[in-house]
Every structure is written in structure tokens, then in C-alpha cells.
């Protein structure tokens, strides 16, 4: 599933190409994705100009000059790509926005877990998907003191806690595993048992891993591409994720895979002792 770096990469790849463009027409090829599509999508977007492209957690938002924003969530396999005017629609293309420069934005989603909807821009903070979300880990407010305040008295495994969207947004499965490895923290360790130095190290590792992933265009394990239809290359930099039974780069111990809360977790049992 695309995480914060992938959506940030998508935002950056699209922003310079579509800002200021007018949406001239709209097409949809099915009535629903994860949820039923708004029957008024066309009326809420056509003849409006794209004034901003930004990210909220793992959501991409296109702000329009009519006080609406188009919100996308990529789900498991979603792709939002900018295509030329002579583009031939493909299987699993579900929604298309035509722009006045002759290009079109196409949302493709093989598994249909993605989302496309429109909300009033000045009411986004009260939208059900955003009103209870935690802090952005790349924001100026994110620091060790913030994490420590949430770790206190939390018996849950540290990996589950940093993936809690009510605490932090966008630290998904891949980047949680990678950040814990850099911090030499076992993913099963109860959050309340982390020392001050471990919390500081983890804070720095989360920021470092996310920024490195963004620089590499995100991580493409299977489906993710950016707005230019290019994959991300952070997979080549992964230390533990998806490396079961391969040698740890630091100590040559075999990487272990376990399941936590239904999600795969990868770690080095030597470098990350509990």
C-alpha cells in the first residue's frame, strides 16, 4: 500500500504539471471503488481551476478555485497518472479528469480499494478521514517529546504504536520496520519500555527514512508509480523489509519475518534485541 513517501512523490511529480489548469470534462467507468462515487463529481469539478496540489497524511488533494478539493487515496493498487490527450483507456481505468492543456489525469486501480471524492476545502479538517489524525512526522512539531508523551503507559508493541494514525500519520508498514532497524529497536518491545535515548533515536530515524524514501521516489514493490508513470527506487535501499532469510547488512544474521496485527514485520534479531 502506498505510504507517505509515495503520496508525497506523487504530489511533487504532478504539482508542476497541473497547477493552474482548468478541468474541462470528466469521465468515470464504474459507479464505485472502495465506496460509491459521488454522482455530482462532474458538477463539482468541471470548469474549475486547480489552484494547489498537496498531501494530507496518505491522501492527495487537488484544491480547486470553487472551494472544493478532489481527494484521492490510492488504496492498495491505485495509480494517478498524467496522460497525453491521445491516451487510450486501459483496463482498470476508473476515473479521468480532462485538462485544458490537452492532458488528462487518470485514476487506475486494479483492486478498487482506492477512493476519489470531493469535499469543501474549508471543511477538510472536519472530514471523517482527517479530523482525528495524528501529527505529520515531517512537520516542525514532531520531536522526541511528542513521541514520549504517547509512549507513556503504552504496553503495545512499539511498531504498532508508531503506525497508529491517531499518533502519527504516514508511517506505514515499510517505513516503521526500516525506522526501527536504524534505531536498533525490536518491533515487539513495549512502547512504554523505550528509554529517552531510544525515543530520540527513533524520532531521528523516522525522519531520515521518510526523507530518503522521498528522495528515491518512494518504494515500488509491485504497483506504485508516480504521476509520470515512473516507479520508486527506495526498494534498493531497504535494510529489512521484504528481506526474509537474507543476511542483515550489518551483522549477516538472517532477517526474520513475523506477523503483527495482521501485518508483516521484518527485523534483525541480533541488531534489534528485545
Q: What are 113's three cell numbers? A: 480499494
Q: Which residue in 12, 83, 263, 269 is the catalytic one?
A: 263
Per-position DSSP letters for 227-250, written without gaps between them: TTS---BGGGG-SSTT-TTSBPTT
Annotation says 230 is catalytic: no
Contact 158, 180 (CB under 8 A): yes
Which ranges in the chain belong to alpha helices (H)? 4-18, 41-45, 144-151, 158-162, 173-183, 196-215
Residue of 2, 5, 137, 187 with catalytic role: 2
As given in the structure block, the three cell numbers for residue 210 are 521518510
Q: Is 141 a catalytic residue?
A: no
CA dist 215 and 213 (Å) reads 5
189 is catalytic: no
| Residue 263 falls in the annotated catalytic set | yes
Query: How far is Cα 252 from Cα 140, in angstroms, rounded to an integer?
Result: 36
3-state secondary structure of 32: strand
11, 44, 55, 58: which is the annotated catalytic residue?
Answer: 58
Here the cell at position 171 is: 508511517
> What are the CA-CA distances from residue 249 to residues 232, 234, 239, 273 (Å)?
21, 16, 7, 16
- Active-site positions read 2-3, 58, 263
Amino acid at each position: 500500500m502506498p505510504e507517505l513517501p509515495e503520496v508525497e512523490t506523487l504530489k511533487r511529480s504532478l504539482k508542476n504539471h497541473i497547477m493552474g489548469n482548468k478541468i474541462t470534462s470528466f469521465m468515470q467507468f464504474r459507479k464505485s471503488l472502495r465506496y460509491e462515487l459521488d454522482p455530482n463529481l462532474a458538477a463539482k469539478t468541471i470548469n474549475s481551476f486547480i489552484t494547489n496540489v498537496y498531501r494530507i497524511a496518505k491522501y492527495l488533494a487537488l484544491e480547486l478555485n470553487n472551494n472544493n478539493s478532489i481527494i484521492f487515496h490510492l488504496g492498495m493498487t491505485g495509480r494517478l497518472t498524467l496522460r497525453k490527450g491521445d491516451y487510450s483507456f486501459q483496463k482498470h481505468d476508473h476515473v479521468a479528469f480532462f485538462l485544458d492543456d490537452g492532458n488528462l489525469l487518470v485514476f487506475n486501480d486494479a483492486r478498487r480499494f482506492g477512493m476519489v471524492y470531493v469535499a469543501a476545502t474549508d471543511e477538510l479538517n472536519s472530514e471523517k478521514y482527517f479530523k482525528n489524525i495524528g501529527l505529520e512526522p515531517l512537520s516542525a512539531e514532531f520531536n522526541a517529546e511528542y513521541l514520549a508523551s504517547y509512549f507513556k503507559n503504552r504496553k503495545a508493541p512499539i511498531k504498532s504504536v508508531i503506525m497508529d494514525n491517531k499518533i502519527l500519520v504516514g508511517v506505514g508498514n515499510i517505513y516503521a520496520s526500516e525506522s526501527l532497524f536504524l534505531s536498533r529497536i525490536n518491533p515487539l518491545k513495549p512502547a512504554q519500555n523505550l528509554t529517552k535515548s531510544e525515543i530520540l533515536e527513533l524520532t531521528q530515524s523516522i525522519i531520515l527514512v521518510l526523507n530518503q524514501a522521498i528522495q528515491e521516489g518512494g518504494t515500488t514493490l509491485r504497483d506504485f508509480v508516480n504521476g509520470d508513470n515512473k516507479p520508486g527506487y527506495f526498494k534498493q535501499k531497504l535494510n529489512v523489509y521484504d528481506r526474509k532469510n537474507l543476511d542483515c547488512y550489518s551483522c549477516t544474521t538472517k532477517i526474520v519475518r513475523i506477523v503483527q496485527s495482521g501485518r508483516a514485520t521484518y527485523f534483525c534479531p541480533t541488531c534489534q534485541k528485545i
